[in-house]
Structure 1
Amino acid sequence: MAKEETVLQGMIDRLIEIGRCYGMEMNVEKTKVMKISRQPTPVTIKIDQKQLENVKCFKYLGSLLTDDGRCTSEIKSRIAMAKAAFSKKKNLFTSKLDLNLRKKLVKCYIWSIALYGAETWTLRAVDQKHLESFEMWCWRRMEKISWTDYVRNEEVLIRVSEQRNILHEIRKRKANWIGHVLRRNCLLKEVIEGKIEGRIEVTRRRGRRRKKMLDDLGDRRGYCHLKEKALDRIKWRNCFGGDCGPVV
């Protein structure tokens, strides 16, 4: 990762030079470059006079990264994978099993796929709707309720003795992960606290500002108060990991 095109080219050249010392070559066909920016201009990075392909998204460690910096594509991809897993394991969710056991199976085998990497998501309103729709999809499929039955979501939740819980689960996971990051001096902490040096004169875009990752924790008193509270592990866990939810 680099801030400027020339810096990235220098990093690639250095990587190739060191790799060749150990008899390793970089595959140009499998190496891609992506610019995360509001400006769609391509980046020119070359390896042995061959230009690398510019892509709009790619997978890294199982997560889908896109050039707009949003999580919508990743969330849709995880939901699709979870639904496919549900279809393969639908024999586990037979009505002969106890209801509580079936719910545990759904959260263990299906939700774990959908929420992989959810600690780093920045959820917009549209993303929350996708996740809540997926949650209701799971309960309807588990109870074998067809969309043609015209059963309201409230009735489905009563049948399975559940409340809408998937967004709270994501916030709890995020709070646990961020709490560990804020209590340490590491690269992730520098990324969260990092700011661009200097003053950049730009015209502000229309609409509200983009949501930040820490905004999901809902602490209106700011990042400093959030960081101070994270130092007390027990208090942090009680505030964000318990049933009381985020403190606002």
Structure 2
Amino acid sequence: MKTILTNKHISIETRKRALQCYIEPVLMYGCETWTISKQIQNKLEATEMWFLRRMLRIPWTAKKTNERVLNEANKRRSLVRTIRKRQATFLGHVIRRGKLEHLVTTGKFERKRSRGRQKEKIMDGLVTWLGPGKVSDTLAAVKDRDLWRDMIANAYKQGT
């Protein structure tokens, strides 16, 4: 795909579309089950910017800010927001189904907690992305499908 994405004879819009159609799905394979920490989020954003810089043929030695590159490409960062949206949609399916996956996702297994700082769960990341609230409020919102879709759409629009 390098020859297509860096070809100057193809418009930038077509190259962005190729990136979105062929590369991002491979990159996001299985993202519904990822736990996105701040470190992983930074790596995903860096990857997104790396693709844009390659498409625009901006060398890594050029002192251009990410905002300037985004303006040049006429694009907003969307990779992390898309992943969060897919996670929230998947969570809705899992919670409404109410089977074993529900217990695993919400962490309601009876067991002894391990020592040290507890690992971040998928629910923790989604609750902070969707806005202020508790896990119990989020789980209650999942039951109402229309409310859940509105919450996801609002969080996606805000770009958090």
Same fold (TM over 0.5): yes
Aligned mates of 2:24, 2:53 — CA distance in 1? 15
Counterpart selection for 2:134 from 196, 214, 222: 222
1:104 is displaced (CA, Å) by 1.4
Aligned mates of 2:13, 2:143 — CA distance in 1? 36
Answer yes or no: is 1:159 the counterpart of 2:93. no
Aligned mates of 2:14, 2:159 — CA distance in 1? 28
Who wins on radius of gyration, i.e. which is larger? 1
1:201 is displaced (CA, Å) by 8.0
Within a 5 Å distance, the mapping from 1:1-248 to structure 2 comes to 89-93=1-5, 94-197=7-110, 200=112, 204-205=115-116, 209-217=118-126, 218=128, 219-242=131-154, 243-245=156-158
Q: Percent identity?
A: 34
Residue deviations 1:198-226, cap 9 Å, x none?
6x487x52xx5421111222254322211
Work out which structure has the larger RCO, using CA pairs closer than 8 Å and 6 or more positions apart in sequence.
Answer: 2
More helix by share: 2
Task: Report the TM-score, using the length of structure 1 for normalisation.
Answer: 0.56
Aligned mates of 2:113, 2:122 — CA distance in 1? 24
More strand by share: 1
Question: Aligned pair count?
Answer: 155
Aligned AA for 2:142? A
1:246 is displaced (CA, Å) by 8.3
List alignment gaps of at least 5 residues for structure 2: none
The answer (yes or no) to whether the contact 1:128–1:167 under 8 Å persists in 2 is yes
CA 1:245/1:214 → structure 2, altered by over 3 Å: closer, same or farther?
Answer: farther
1:194 is displaced (CA, Å) by 4.3
1:234 is displaced (CA, Å) by 2.2
List alignment gaps of at least 5 residues for structure 1: 1-88
